[in-house]
Each structure stands twice: as structure tokens, then as C-alpha cells.
């Protein structure tokens, strides 16, 4: 006899298994329709391959696995796909999900399929692929895709076949072992081959199934498979508990059995894998126990996946008036069903229809007296009553310290609780809340990190900018000092203008930044449009990708997302249109306006001079006229009249000149030239604006630097000329040159920054 | 009929809190019978008066707290408190002593703290200590065991006992009082243990540790074993308490000299030792929660009992030891979490979430 270890804690509720083992595994007539949920496993939902109205053959793939942890589904019989829609599925919440409704044509026409005669000729990965394509998932409970579980990265030394079936009432595995021992042993050998023939293969079975034990025993001779019987005690069938019982090892906290070189498979899954490998049959049916006193017959059936519960119950003389609650699974971990149209899925091992006497509704909860019976029953060595107190007070830190997440929700604590406290429900609620909080914490941490990083980046940029500014300032000072040394000119008053210079520079930089802002805005909008377009594309793709396997809600969401993205795109385009075209005009206008105002300024003095001239002329004429009136001398009169005529002519000229000077030129005396220069400047400005439009920012900057350099040269030439002449405007010229220099340096640094 | 939506598990034991309490009550019977056999009707009268007072108080408080009265009375927890207090009080104690102790236990020690499951201190022991401190004379007047009555004196019958306990009769109890074995040891100066055992009929007529007392203790031990068998509690707290007490007394036995504090047998089978070990220390509400914690809790109760018995001013110490350890229970709980499946070592309840898991 092999040594067995004892289960920590545990309970021994009434087994109630005898009712359903009285007759062999039966089969049921085909139901009117089969409702096959798309997602019957843990992992990603499969990709739908059929459409409404399609005719499918028995065993045909309805949906193929999508993603690593996923499983496909197959047509349980031949018929027509009538609907692909949301339907209530077996779930504790009673939720609905996407299901394929298949109307059988009663022909039971199989799709072409073939088994593998000698699987040892194949590679384990080829076999794993067959298992994956056959839609096989753990039939014991959770429905984890078997191909994933059978392909661990860690080396495996022990394969454990779980034939425990520790939940009361359920006998599906028991009957399977009694009726298909040969197939099961073949299946185990296949698993062994896939796992690289582990040293030890153990079948764990509780001692309340002697018939199954005897049935398997003869087939295990001359094999390295050991059948291990141990005392019946719930929950010895839990994966972690079974490993503890058979090997004395514990799966480390947060780990999986493969971490300690163990793979555990349910015996039903083993059988399904044997069918898939040796017969080519995908998982389209399973053995389900129908039991409970509200059913006249209690029996196991080979049930097609998708068979409505109502069909099972009706064929077993179900009396709903006797059945206050209907349970899928066992009385310890099963969940209640609220509708009879819910289908049997791959993990449905039992339909339990108890009467009120059989499983009475729990009496009102009494206060916890901390009796500790729960702690004695807990297979994970937790302190359930402490968890309960902390769950009640939502003390999540304490719950974490008390290892709430090691709770397997077996229900042993609730079972023994003399105060009828629904302990497991408290744990589930607390776990849900804690998971939510953990997610929120991750999110907020991420946001905080992002924010901090952003702040650090900004600070760094700011520091770099400040350093650059400092360097520039020093360079400018150096240059000025050099220049002052070189020239040693009388206008050495420059030194005082340093700070003023800085102010001007800063102001100009600000102005430049401001000027850039409409462009930036435009660029921003353009980027926005690109983004919006990509949003629309993504939403469209998602919508296309959804196909028919998604729920109605997902459809709606996808459509809403697309609509939203479109709207945003439209919005952005409109904004750009509103800003875009006028922006160009505005930009041009602005440039032209500046040019005009500059002209005005330049022209201001000549115009004023002209006006002055006109007014003085008028005054002179008035004086002359007076003189003429008061003059008696004839010669004087003629002289005066001649003078007056000349003055009038001059006035006329001046007035004409004044009238003709709406725009101005550099030289106040030559009106036409002024006009030409003004219009030329406007034209240049317009051309520049137009050119700028088509130029990138860098090019624009380069152009402005060039023009500034030209202007600076001209201004310097003028300055030297003025200095040579000793003109009185020499100061004006000098400030002009300085201003230009400042502009040029500003533009150059801007350019340097850009090109960096 | 619509199908119910219920969460798993769907199966439950038929056991409820009321059943557990009834088992405890049942288990007190051997001890109570032994007490009655040796000390007369007084014990049963105590229990009855205490029970009536306790149920009355419980019902009143539940009514005031606007809770369903019958639902809470059915859990029998008030009755357990009353019976344990009644058994601990001296037989033939005046009625008002029982009344004060029980009502204090139920109203103050239990319900003011939130009722069943929320009381940090064992209500029966709180009631006992209140009486011991307030009425030391009445609380230390134990009747002599019947076999030691002077020749020709009959033990008081039920009627006579009632007359002694209830008001308006004023029968004197004094005629029947005598020192308890623990009293005797406490006041022994000069006699070797052997001499004392020979000279005092309380010991010389006893089999192990004092006439009457040893049987009462054995009765409670039997009741405790029954509860252990029925898995109402685990062995950890009572066994560790008894072992600790036995070890301490063995260590300080002093070869039976005149300053000896008594043999382990004396300590185990006299006073409230067994009643305390199986009915008080095992009170789940006020003790530690994990098995390891309960062992520590029980052992420290045992040590405290011996310390107070030997060097304190009270002959017995059950109530004080238990109340002192009630204080310590939450602290013990913090550091005695069991090792959870898959973890290398036990954690502490004070661990923060940021600490490493394992």
C-alpha cells in the first residue's frame, strides 16, 4: 500500500451518491434545439466560424480557439444554425452570453473524422494541438483548456488523475470508470506520453467508489499506473487537496501544480482526450448526473453539450412544485439556476433538483460565537471566523494578512457553522472588492508615476532652457564687449543698453512664440484629425473583427465607439476649416498690416512735414493777401501778386503732394517712389506670407534669418554712411542696427533650437 | 414556483448554536450532580435562580434592543452563563447574591458589549469576580461536605435549603460552613503535607484531594471529555491549562513541606479547576481563535491560577486568571495564525499588505 497523507480539515456530508448509480449511463432523445454557449471555459472566447442559417454536421467546428488559453466548440449533432444570440448561460450570476442555437435534423450525420492508430508516432505537440482543436477543457469544474495544462514549461514527475468526485450526489466520474475503464487507461497513457512519461502516475479515488475501483484495477496490471484509494472526505477532490493527500506536497502559494512537477487531470477529461486522439471525436457530449428527490429517476446520462436543463429534467420526471432550488453542480460548490432553458455545458457534471426537505433553506443567521468549527473544517488552514469578522468590517489589510486569497471557496466552513453564517459568500464579496481595489491601486500608481515622470521631464526641459538662455546671454555680452573693444567708438553708451537689450530680446522671443501659436494650433488640429481618423479606423476594425460571436452589448459598444470617433473627426475637420482658411488669410493680413504700419511710421514725418508745409503756405498766402489789400503801391502790388501766385502754386503742389501720399516711401520728397516702395513692401510681405505658408517652420526661420541678415547689412551700410557724413540721424540708425541684430540673434537661436 | 437564488454551499449541518449550548449544558450534569451529592441542594438552587434571572435579563435586554426575543433565547447562551455561574457560587448562597451576579453577567458583561459573540470577557467569570470582591464573606462560605458533618447532624433537605437561600426565612447557613481544601492549604502554617492529610478529615477521608471536591472535579472532567468527544471544542486550551497547572504545582510541591503549595493532584482536583478547564477556558468567544493561540491561552491561564492560588490573597483563582487572559486573547491571536496551505510559514495578523507574501 502506498502511503497517503491526510487531508487538512474537511467534512463528511451525507454522500447521497447511491440514488444515481442504480442504472447505467443512459442516453436521451435529441432535444428540439441545442443552445451552445460560445465561451464554456476559462480564457478567451473562440472565433465563430458559422453563421445563422448554416447547415452543420455532427462534430463540425462551430468556433475555433482564439488565443493561447482558449477552446473551440463543435456541433453536437447535425442540423441548422437558427440563431446566434444572447441566451442565459450557466453562471452564478444568471447572466446571458452569446450562444449558438442549433436545431437538430435528427440525421446524426458525422463530419469526416479519424482517430490516430498509434499516437506514439506523433509528437506531443501534435497531440496537444488535436486536444486544443477538439475543444477539450477540464471537465471537473473550472473548465481550463486542457492543452494549456498539459503543456507546462516545468518538467513533470507526477501525473495525477483526479477520480475523487468528493461532492455529494455527483456520480458522473464513478459511472464513467465503471463503464469505460479500458478507454480511461488508454487516455492516461496518452497523457503520460504527452507529458514525457512522468515517473509516477497516480489515480486518486475516494473509498466510497469500490465498484469503480474494482472496474479499473484489472486494466492497470502491467502498467506504471497506481490506483490510490483514500478515505472519503470533502474536499479531497480539490486539486491542491488531492496533491496533498497523494504526495504530501503543497502547491506553493500563488503557484500551480507544475511548479512542483505535478499535473492533475480529471478522469472525465482523460476520457475525452482518449476519444479525441483515438477516435477523432471532439468534445460534444459529457456525462451528467441528474439527481435529487424532485426527480423521479436519478441517473447519469451521456448528454450533448447544449441540451437544455428542462429536457434533462422532463425526461426524469421532474416535479418543479417540489423543488425550491435547482442546482448545477454539487450541493457544496454548485450554483443555483433560475431558468430551465439554461443548457448543459462542458463543465456541467450534475443537475441537482432537491426537495425542500432534502436541502432545506438555511435558517436565519445567528451571531458568530467564534466556536472555531470552521477552522477545524478548513482544508487550507485558514481561520474562517477571523476572516468573517474582518470581511464584515471590510478590513482588507487584515484579510490579506489572514490569507483570504488562499480560500478555495469549498464551503466546508459554511457547512459546519452552527450559526448558519454564509461565510463563503462573505469571502467572495470581500475578494471581489479587494481585486477591484488592487486594480484601482495599480491604475492610480500608474497615473502617479506618469505624472511624476512628466513633472521631472518638464523640470529638466526648463533647466535646459534656462542654461541655454544663460549661455546665450553670456555669448551676447562677450560679443558686445569684443565689439566695444574693437570699435572703441564714441557711442560707447552701449553698455547701458545691455539690460534694455535683454528686455527687447525677451519681448521679441515672446512675440515670436505668439506668432507661432496659430501655426501650432493648426498643427495641433491636423494632428487631431489624424488621430480621429485612426480612431475611426480602429473602431471600424473592431466592429469588423467582432463578427457574430460577440454579445449584443459588445456590438452596441463597438458601434457607439465608431460613431463617436466619426463625430470627433468631423468636429476636428470643422474646426480646422474654421481656423484653417482664415488662418492663412489672417496670417497674410497680419503680415501686410505690420508692413503698412511700418510704412506709416516711416512716412509719418514726411506727411506731417507736408501738412506743415501746406499750413505754413496757407498762412503765408493769407499774410500776402492781407499785404496785397493794404498795399497802395502798384509795383509792390504786382510783386505781391506774383509772390502770391508762386505761393499758391507751391500750395497747390504741396496739397497735391499731400493728397498723393496715402502710402509712403523711404524718401519723403519723392512721392511716386514712396508709393512704389510701399506697394513693393506690401507685395513682398504678401509674398513672404505666402511663401511662409508653404514653408516648414525651419525653412521659415531660415528665411527670416536670411532676410534679417540682409537688412542688418543694409542698415550697417547706412550707419557707416551716416557716420561718415556726420548726419544728425546717426543715433536712429544705430538703434535700428541694434534692433536688427537682436532680432537676428533671436531668430538664429530659434532656428538652432528647431534644428536640434 | 420561482426557483430560489442561493449561494453555495447548499448543504448544512443540522447543528446550530442552540444545539452546541445544549450540549454544554448537558455536559455540566455529572459535575452538578457530584456537587449536589456532596454539598446538598444549594448548588441546584443556585443554578435554578441564576437561570431564571439570566433568561429574564436576556429577554428584557433583547426586547429593549428590539430584537426577536425568542430567537435569541433559543440559542441558550444566557442559560449556559447562568448554569456556570450557579455552579461556581457557594451552595446555599443567599438569593440576592445569585441575582446580582447573574444580572451583572448578562446585562453588563454580555449585552453592554454587544451581546452574544461580542463580549470580550467571560460573563460568568465577570459576575463571579464582582461578587467575590463585593461580598467576600458570602462568597467564601462554602458548606462542609456532607460526609464530614458531625455525628447526628442531618444534611439540610430541599425545603430547609430553600429556607436558607430565599428571603423571609433567615435560616442560618453558618452551621454548615467549613474550609475548602484550597483554604486549608492557604492557611496551613507549620504542618507537613503528610501531617495535614492525616489530621484533617477533609483529606484523610478523601481518596485523592479533598472530600467532595475531587468528585465534583471528576464530574466536570467527564463532562468535558464528552464535549471533546462531540467536538464542541478542541483539546488545546483545556489540556494545556491542566498541564501547565500540573507542571507548576509539581515544580513548587517542595516535597510536601510545611510551606508546600499542594500537590498536582490537589490542584487538579480541587477548587474550580475542571469546571474552569472544560467550561470556562473553552468559551470560544473570549479565548484565542487558533489552536496554537488556544494552547498559549490555556497554558497561561494554568500558570496564573497557580500563581494566584499560591501567592495571591484568594484561595482559588479561576475567575481572575481567565479574565486576565481574556485581555490577552486578541494579542495572542495576532501572533498565532496557523500556517496556510501553500505557505512556508505562518503569517502575523499585524502584517501590512506591502510585506512579502509567503
Res. B218: pLDDT tops 90: yes
Q: Does A160 touch chain B (CB under 8 A)?
A: no
Q: Does B284 touch chain A (CB under 8 A)?
A: yes
Sheet of A34-37, strand order: A34-37, A96-104, A79-88, A55-56
pLDDT-based confidence at residue A278 (cuts at 50, 70, 90): very high
Question: Where are any strands of DSSP class E within chain B?
Answer: none
Query: Which residues, 6+ apart, have CB-to-CB distance to A279 below 8 Å?
Result: A113, A115
- Report the distance separating Cα B331 and Cα A295, nearest Å: 53
Do the chains contact at A323 and B3, CB–CB below 8 Å? yes
Domain boundaries, chain B: 16-148+157-178, 179-334
Please state, in angstroms and as integers, the Cα–Cα distance from residue A182 to each residue in A171, A179, A218, A303, A721, following that order.
19, 9, 9, 21, 115
- Put simply, the chain A residues between 230 and 249 with a CB less than 8 A from any chain B CB are 240, 244
Do the chains contact at B116 and A403, CB–CB below 8 Å? no
Res. B170: pLDDT tops 80: no
Res. A328: pLDDT tops 50: yes
Cell 534679417, residue located: A708
> HEC profile for A384-406?
HHHHHHHHHCCCHHHHHHCCHHH
Contacts of B291 in chain A (CB under 8 A): 375
Q: Does B175 touch chain A (CB under 8 A)?
A: no
How far is the alpha carbon of B182 from chain A, nearest alpha carbon, in Å?
Answer: 32
- Report the distance separating Cα B122 and Cα B322, nearest Å: 8
Supply the DSSP symbol for A647: H
Kindly compute the dihedral angle of the four CA atoms of residues A92, A93, A96, A97, in this order, to the nearest 10 degrees: -70
Do the chains contact at B353 and A8, CB–CB below 8 Å? no
pLDDT-based confidence at residue A692 (cuts at 50, 70, 90): low
Do the chains contact at A254 and B115, CB–CB below 8 Å? no
Do the chains contact at B341 and A321, CB–CB below 8 Å? no
Nearest CA in chain A to B9: A332
How far is the alpha carbon of A751 from chain B, nearest alpha carbon, in Å?
Answer: 51
Cα torsion angle, B45, B48, B52, B58, sign:
positive
**Candidate from B118, B349, B358 with C-beta closest to A402:** B349
More confident residue, A518 or B269: B269
At A587, give phi and psi (nearest 5°).
Answer: -60, -50
CB atoms within 10 A of CB A120: 10
Contacts of B347 in chain A (CB under 8 A): 401-403
Supply the DSSP symbol for B197: H
- Put simply, the chain A residues between 377 and 416 with a CB less than 8 A from any chain B CB are 379-383, 385-386, 396-398, 400-403, 406, 409, 411-412, 414-416
Res. B305: pLDDT tops 70: yes
pLDDT on residue A666: 46
Instruction: Judge whether B202 and B211 are in contact, CB under 8 Å.
Output: yes
Q: Does A20 touch chain B (CB under 8 A)?
A: no
More confident residue, B149 or A286: A286
Nearest CA in chain A to B341: A380
More confident residue, B351 or B265: B265
pLDDT-based confidence at residue B332 (cuts at 50, 70, 90): very high
The mean-pLDDT minimum among A156-160, A432-436, A746-750 falls in: A746-750
Write out pLDDT tens, residues A77-124: 999 999 899 999 998 888 899 999 999 999 889 999 888 889 889 999
Write out pLDDT tens, residues A640-667: 778 778 878 878 877 777 776 654 444 4
Do the chains contact at B3 and A406, CB–CB below 8 Å? no
Do the chains contact at A362 and B290, CB–CB below 8 Å? no
Q: Does A305 touch chain B (CB under 8 A)?
A: no
- Report the distance separating Cα B249 and Cα B317, nearest Å: 14
Q: Does A661 touch chain B (CB under 8 A)?
A: no
Write out pLDDT tens, residues A2-20: 889 999 999 999 999 999 9
pLDDT on residue B354: 53
Q: Which CATH class is domain A18-352?
A: alpha beta
More confident residue, B163 or A75: A75
Contacts of B17 in chain A (CB under 8 A): 366-367, 369, 371, 418-419
pLDDT on residue A375: 93
3-state secondary structure of A434: helix
Nearest to A34, CA basis, from A314, A306, A258, A249: A306
How far is the alpha carbon of A551 from chain B, nearest alpha carbon, in Å?
Answer: 24
Res. B356: pLDDT tops 50: no
Q: Does B5 touch chain A (CB under 8 A)?
A: yes
Q: Does B330 touch chain A (CB under 8 A)?
A: no
- How much is the average pLDDT of A722-749? 79
DSSP lists the bridge partners of residue A288 as A301
Do the chains contact at B4 and A240, CB–CB below 8 Å? no
Secondary structure (DSSP) of B212-239: THHHHHHHHHHHHHHHHHTTSS-SHHHH
How far is the alpha carbon of B191 from chain A, nearest alpha carbon, in Å?
Answer: 46
Bridge-based pairing state of the strands A61-64 and A47-48 = antiparallel
Mutation to test the B interface, candidates A403, A417, A442, most B Cβ within 10 Å: A403
Do the chains contact at B4 and A324, CB–CB below 8 Å? yes
How far is the alpha carbon of A399 from chain B, nearest alpha carbon, in Å?
Answer: 9
What is the helix (H) or strand (E) element at residue A746, kind and residue range? helix A730-755
Do the chains contact at B338 and A381, CB–CB below 8 Å? yes
Res. B358: pLDDT tops 50: no
- Report the distance separating Cα A188 and Cα A191, nearest Å: 5
Contacts of A383 in chain B (CB under 8 A): 289-290, 337-338
Contacts of A327 in chain B (CB under 8 A): 10
- How much is the average pLDDT of A694-718? 78
How big is the CA angle at A450 (ends A446 and A451), to the nearest 5 degrees? 115
Q: Does A31 touch chain B (CB under 8 A)?
A: no
Q: Does B230 touch chain A (CB under 8 A)?
A: no
Res. B289: pLDDT tops 60: yes
DSSP lists the bridge partners of residue A290 as A299, A351
Kindly state the percentage of chain A with pLDDT values over 90: 52
Cell of A4: 497517503
Do the chains contact at B6 and A361, CB–CB below 8 Å? yes
Kindly compute the dihedral angle of the four CA atoms of residues A251, A256, A257, A258, in this order, to the nearest 10 degrees: -130
pLDDT on residue A94: 84
The mean-pLDDT minimum among A624-638, A690-704, B49-63, B236-250 falls in: A690-704
Q: Does A53 touch chain B (CB under 8 A)?
A: no
pLDDT-based confidence at residue A145 (cuts at 50, 70, 90): very high
pLDDT on residue A232: 94
pLDDT on residue B357: 42
Do the chains contact at B342 and A250, CB–CB below 8 Å? yes
Kindly state the percentage of chain A with pLDDT values over 70: 85
How far is the alpha carbon of B347 from chain A, nearest alpha carbon, in Å?
Answer: 7
- Put simply, the chain A residues between 257 and 276 with a CB less than 8 A from any chain B CB are none
pLDDT-based confidence at residue A696 (cuts at 50, 70, 90): low
DSSP lists the bridge partners of residue A302 as A27, A287
Query: Which residues, 6+ apart, have CB-to-CB distance to A447 below 8 Å?
Result: none
pLDDT-based confidence at residue A194 (cuts at 50, 70, 90): very high
Q: Is B88 left (phi over 0), alpha (psi -120 to 50) or beta?
A: alpha
Res. B295: pLDDT tops 60: yes
Please state, in angstroms and as integers, the Cα–Cα distance from residue A541 to each residue in A534, A547, A559, B36, following that order.
10, 10, 11, 88
More confident residue, A338 or A752: A338
More confident residue, A611 or A429: A429
Q: Does B34 touch chain A (CB under 8 A)?
A: no
- Report the distance separating Cα A443 and Cα A455, nearest Å: 18
Bridge-based pairing state of the strands A158-162 and A262-266 = parallel
Nearest to A407, CA basis, from A383, A389, A390: A383
Do the chains contact at A366 and B12, CB–CB below 8 Å? no
How far is the alpha carbon of B1 from chain A, nearest alpha carbon, in Å?
Answer: 6
Mutation to test the B interface, candidates A17, A292, A353, A381, most B Cβ within 10 Å: A381
Do the chains contact at B341 and A383, CB–CB below 8 Å? no
**Candidate from B8, B234, B339 with C-beta closest to A372:** B234
pLDDT on residue B119: 93
**Candidate from B117, B291, B358 with C-beta closest to A367:** B117
Contacts A–B by Cβ distance under 8 A: 185
ipTM of the complex: 0.88
Q: Which architecture, in CATH terms, is A362-488?
A: Orthogonal Bundle (1.10)
Bridge-based pairing state of the strands A350-352 and A285-291 = parallel
More confident residue, B226 or A660: B226
Bridge-based pairing state of the strands A61-64 and A73-74 = antiparallel
pLDDT on residue A582: 46
Write out pLDDT tens, residues B249-273: 999 887 777 777 888 888 899 888 9
Mutation to test the A interface, candidates B2, B4, B5, B12, most A Cβ within 10 Å: B12
Question: Where are any strands of DSSP class E within A531-649?
Answer: none
pLDDT on residue B100: 95
Q: Does A45 touch chain B (CB under 8 A)?
A: no
Nearest to B131, CA basis, from B32, B31, B46: B46
Res. A160: pLDDT tops 90: yes
Write out pLDDT tens, residues A204-229: 999 999 999 999 999 998 889 999 99
Res. A348: pLDDT tops 50: yes
Mark A409-420 as b/e (b = at least 16 C-beta within 10 Å). bbbbbbbbbbbb
pLDDT on residue A117: 86
Secondary structure (DSSP) of A693-714: HHS-HHHHHHHHHHHHHHHHHH
Do the chains contact at B71 and A255, CB–CB below 8 Å? no
Cell of A581: 482658411
Amino acid at each position: 500500500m502506498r502511503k497517503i497523507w491526510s487531508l487538512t480539515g474537511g467534512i463528511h456530508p451525507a454522500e447521497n451518491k447511491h440514488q444515481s448509480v442504480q442504472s447505467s449511463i443512459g442516453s436521451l432523445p435529441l432535444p428540439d434545439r441545442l443552445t451552445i454557449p460560445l465561451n464554456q471555459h476559462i480564457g478567451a472566447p473562440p472565433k465563430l466560424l458559422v453563421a445563422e442559417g448554416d447547415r452543420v454536421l455532427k462534430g463540425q467546428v462551430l468556433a475555433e480557439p482564439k488565443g493561447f488559453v482558449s477552446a473551440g466548440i463543435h456541433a453536437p449533432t447535425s442540423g441548422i444554425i437558427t440563431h446566434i444570440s444572447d441566451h442565459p448561460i450557466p453562471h452564478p450570476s444568471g447572466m446571458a452570453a452569446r450562444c449558438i442555437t442549433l436545431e437538430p435534423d435528427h440525421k446524426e450525420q458525422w463530419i469526416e473524422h479519424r482517430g490516430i492508430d498509434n499516437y506514439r508516432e506523433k509528437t506531443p505537440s501534435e497531440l496537444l494541438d488535436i486536444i486544443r482543436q477538439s475543444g477539450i477543457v477540464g471537465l471537473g469544474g473550472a473548465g481550463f483548456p486542457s492543452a494549456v495544462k498539459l503543456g507546462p514549461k516545468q518538467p513533470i514527475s507526477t501525473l495525477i488523475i483526479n477520480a475523487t468526485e468528493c461532492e455529494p450526489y455527483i456520480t458522473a466520474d464513478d459511472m464513467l470508470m465503471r463503464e469505460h475503464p479500458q478507454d480511461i487507461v488508454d487516455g492516461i497513457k496518452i497523457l503520460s506520453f504527452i507529458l514525457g512519461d512522468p515517473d509516477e502516475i497516480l489515480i486518486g479515488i475516494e473509498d466510497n467508489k469500490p465498484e469503480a475501483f474494482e472496474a479499473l484495477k484489472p486494466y492497470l496490471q502491467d502498467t506504471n499506473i497506481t490506483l490510490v484509494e483514500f478515505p472519503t472526505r470533502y474536499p479531497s477532490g480539490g486539486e491542491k487537496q488531492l496533491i496533498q493527500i497523494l504526495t504530501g506536497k503543497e502547491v506553493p502559494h500563488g503557484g500551480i501544480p507544475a511548479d512542483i512537477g505535478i499535473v492533475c487531470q480529471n478522469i472525465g477529461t482523460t476520457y475525452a482526450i482518449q476519444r479525441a486522439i483515438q477516435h477523432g471525436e471532439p468534445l460534444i457530449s459529457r456525462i451528467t448526473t441528474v439527481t435529487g428527490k424532485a426527480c423521479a429517476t436519478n441517473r447519469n446520462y451521456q448528454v450533448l453539450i447544449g441540451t437544455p436543463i428542462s429536457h434533462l429534467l422532463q425526461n426524469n420526471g421532474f416535479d418543479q412544485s417540489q423543488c425550491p432550488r435547482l442546482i448545477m453542480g454539487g450541493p457544496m460548490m454548485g450554483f443555483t439556476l433560475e431558468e430551465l432553458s439554461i443548457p448543459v455545458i462542458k463543465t456541467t457534471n450534475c443537475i441537482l433538483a432537491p426537495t425542500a426537505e432534502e436541502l432545506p433553506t438555511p435558517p436565519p443567521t445567528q451571531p458568530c460565537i467564534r466556536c472555531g468549527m470552521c477552522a477545524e473544517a478548513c482544508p487550507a488552514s485558514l481561520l474562517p471566523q477571523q476572516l468573517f469578522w474582518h470581511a464584515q468590517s471590510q478590513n482588507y489589510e487584515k484579510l490579506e494578512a489572514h490569507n483570504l486569497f488562499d480560500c478555495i471557496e469549498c464551503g466546508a466552513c459554511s457547512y459546519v457553522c452552527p450559526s448558519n453564517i454564509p461565510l463563503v459568500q462573505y469571502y467572495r464579496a470581500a475578494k471581489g472588492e479587494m481585486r477591484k481595489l488592487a486594480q484601482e491601486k495599480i491604475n492610480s500608481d500608474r497615473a502617479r508615476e506618469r505624472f511624476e515622470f512628466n513633472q521631472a521631464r518638464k523640470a529638466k526641459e526648463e533647466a535646459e532652457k534656462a542654461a541655454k538662455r544663460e549661455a546665450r546671454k553670456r555669448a551676447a555680452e562677450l560679443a558686445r564687449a569684443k565689439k566695444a573693444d574693437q570699435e572703441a567708438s564714441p557711442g560707447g553708451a552701449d553698455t547701458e543698453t545691455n539690460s534694455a537689450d535683454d528686455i527687447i530680446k525677451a519681448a521679441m522671443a515672446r512675440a515670436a512664440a505668439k506668432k507661432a501659436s496659430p501655426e501650432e494650433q493648426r498643427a495641433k488640429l491636423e494632428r487631431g484629425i489624424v488621430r480621429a481618423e485612426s480612431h475611426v479606423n480602429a473602431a471600424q476594425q473592431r466592429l469588423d473583427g467582432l463578427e457574430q460571436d460577440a454579445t449584443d452589448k459588445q456590438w452596441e459598444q463597438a458601434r457607439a465607439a465608431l460613431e463617436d470617433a466619426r463625430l470627433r473627426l468631423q468636429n476636428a475637420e470643422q474646426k480646422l476649416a474654421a481656423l484653417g482658411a482664415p488662418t492663412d488669410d489672417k496670417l497674410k493680413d497680419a503680415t501686410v498690416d505690420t508692413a503698412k504700419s511700418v510704412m506709416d511710421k516711416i512716412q509719418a514725418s514726411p506727411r506731417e512735414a507736408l501738412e506743415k508745409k501746406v499750413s505754413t503756405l496757407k498762412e503765408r498766402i493769407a499774410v500776402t493777401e492781407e499785404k496785397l489789400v493794404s498795399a497802395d503801391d502798384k509795383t509792390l502790388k504786382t510783386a505781391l501778386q506774383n509772390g502770391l501766385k508762386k505761393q499758391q502754386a507751391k500750395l497747390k503742389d504741396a496739397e497735391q503732394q499731400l493728397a498723393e501720399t496715402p502710402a509712403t516711401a523711404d524718401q519723403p520728397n519723392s512721392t511716386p517712389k514712396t508709393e512704389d516702395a510701399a506697394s513693393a513692401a506690401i507685395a513682398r510681405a504678401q509674398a513672404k506670407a505666402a511663401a511662409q505658408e508653404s514653408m516648414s517652420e525651419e525653412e521659415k526661420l531660415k528665411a527670416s534669418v536670411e532676410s534679417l541678415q540682409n537688412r542688418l547689412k543694409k542698415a550697417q551700410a547706412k550707419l557707416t554712411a551716416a557716420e561718415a557724413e556726420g548726419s544728425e540721424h546717426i543715433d536712429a540708425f544705430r538703434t535700428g542696427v541694434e534692433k536688427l541684430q537682436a532680432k537676428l540673434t533671436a531668430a538664429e537661436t530659434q532656428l538652432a533650437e528647431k534644428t536640434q | 414556483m420561482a426557483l430560489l437564488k442561493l449561494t453555495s454551499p447548499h448543504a448544512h449541518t443540522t447543528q446550530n448554536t442552540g444545539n452546541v449550548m445544549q450540549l454544554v449544558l448537558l455536559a455540566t450534569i455529572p459535575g452538578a450532580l457530584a456537587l449536589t451529592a456532596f454539598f446538598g441542594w444549594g448548588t441546584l438552587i443556585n443554578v435554578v435562580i441564576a437561570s431564571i434571572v439570566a433568561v429574564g435579563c436576556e429577554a428584557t435586554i433583547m426586547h429593549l434592543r428590539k430584537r426577536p426575543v425568542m430567537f435569541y433565547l433559543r440559542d441558550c447562551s444566557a442559560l449556559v452563563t447562568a448554569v456556570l455561574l450557579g455552579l461556581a457560587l457557594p451552595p446555599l448562597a443567599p438569593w440576592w447574591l445569585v441575582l446580582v451576579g447573574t444580572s451583572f453577567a448578562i446585562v453588563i458583561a454580555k449585552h453592554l458589549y454587544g451581546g452574544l459573540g461580542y463580549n470580550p470577557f467571560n460573563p460568568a467569570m465577570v459576575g463571579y469576580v464582582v461578587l467575590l470582591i463585593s461580598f467576600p464573606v458570602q462568597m467564601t462560605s462554602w458548606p462542609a461536605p456532607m460526609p464530614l458533618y458531625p455525628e447526628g447532624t442531618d444534611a439540610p433537605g430541599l425545603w430547609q435549603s430553600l429556607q436558607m437561600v430565599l428571603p423571609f426565612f433567615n435560616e442560618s447557613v453558618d452551621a454548615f460552613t467549613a474550609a475548602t481544601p484550597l483554604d486549608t492549604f492557604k492557611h496551613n502554617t507549620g504542618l507537613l503535607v503528610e501531617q495535614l492529610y492525616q489530621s484533617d478529615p477533609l483529606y484523610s477521608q478523601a481518596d485523592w484531594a479533598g472530600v467532595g471536591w475531587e468528585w465534583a472535579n471528576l464530574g466536570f472532567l467527564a463532562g468535558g471529555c464528552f464535549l471533546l468527544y462531540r467536538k464542541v471544542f478542541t483539546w488545546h486550551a483545556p489540556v494545556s491549562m491542566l498541564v501547565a497547572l500540573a507542571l507548576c504545582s509539581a515544580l513548587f510541591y517542595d516535597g510536601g513541606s510545611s510551606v508546600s503549595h499542594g500537590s498536582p493532584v490537589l490542584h487538579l482536583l480541587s477548587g474550580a479547576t475542571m469546571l474552569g478547564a472544560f467550561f470556562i477556558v473553552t468559551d470560544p468567544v473570549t479565548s484565542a481563535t487558533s489552536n496554537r493561540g488556544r494552547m498559549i491561552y490555556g497554558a497561561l491561564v494554568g500558570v496564573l491560577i497557580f500563581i494566584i492560588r499560591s501567592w495571591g490573597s484568594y484561595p482559588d483563582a479561576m475567575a481572575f486568571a481567565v479574565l486576565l487572559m481574556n485581555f490577552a486573547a486578541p494579542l495572542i491571536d495576532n501572533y498565532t495564525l496557523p500556517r496556510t496551505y501553500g505557505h512556508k510559514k505562518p503569517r502575523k495578523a499585524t502584517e501590512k499588505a506591502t510585506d512579502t507574501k509567503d
